[in-house]
Structure formats: C-alpha cells, structure tokens
Amino acid sequence: MKRSTFVAVTALLLGVVTSGQAQAESAPGCGPVTQIGKTAYVGDNGQKWASVKQFKGCGKNWAYIYTWTDTHNAGAPYTPELILVEQWNSPDAREPYGRVGLRKGGYRQKELWSSGTSTLDDCTSAYAEWNSGAMTYRVRTDIRC
C-alpha cells in the first residue's frame, strides 16, 4: 500500500472514530461494560446531539447518555435531565412496569450514567430526558430481554 493511501485511510478511520459519538468504556465503580441493544439518539431534523445506550457489566444493567463533543463545544445550552433503566414485562409491552437507577444531570453535563441496577433477568431499556433549553427530548433504547 502506498504511503499516501495509508495516510488517507488512517485519516478517514480517525474521522469516523472521533465524529462526536460516545466512546464509553466503563461504568462508574464497575469497569468495562458491554453495550446491549441499539443506540438511540437525541436530535431533531436529521441532527444528532447526544446518544443513549444500555450496558451490562458487574452483574448489573446501566443506562448512559453522552452529549456529543461537537454539541458541547458549540456552547449549546443543554441539560441531560435524567437517565434510568426501565423494566418491561415483554418486548411487546406498551408501558414499562418499573423505572430504576435514576440519576439526574446538571447543566451542560457531557455524560451521565444511571446507577447500576439488578435487572439482568428482566426486559430492560435505557431511558433519558435531554433538555435543549427550548424543548425536552425523551429517548429510549430498544427493549432487551
């Protein structure tokens, strides 16, 4: 591979890795965790400002919201209002029967983890509320059983 091609490929890969998405590796007080389910996004009109994910690790479930670096660095007036783990009777249920691990965020807090929850045997999703200063966005990941 020519050096110029290698440099171009490396630059492209670095651009993909650092495009503002969350790079979460460990939950507070836990260490490495594994994402379960798909990532959900906070945004509007095709724009994405934050991501919401669900993880498992240390015998617990965790919910996580991360405001992207581009949004944060732009000086946006945002607040991750809350993050939690929802409990469901099944993937087809209409409403969760429980909400656990609630943590509240602060103004321009870039990332926020829920408390670890003892819900690995339950159907769960991550749920977050993120306030843009003008509107509160409510976002949940898919339900995982």
Indicate the pTM of the whole model: 0.82
Residue with tokens 């807090």: 109
Residues 6 or more apart in contact with residue 78 via CB below 8 angstroms: 49, 50, 67, 71, 72, 107, 108, 130, 131, 132, 133
List per-residue pLDDT tens for the chain, 145 residues long. Answer: 444 333 333 333 333 333 444 454 689 999 899 999 999 999 999 999 999 999 999 999 999 999 999 999 999 999 999 999 999 999 999 999 999 999 999 999 999 999 999 999 999 999 999 999 999 999 999 999 9
The CATH number of the domain covering residues in 34-140: 2.60.40
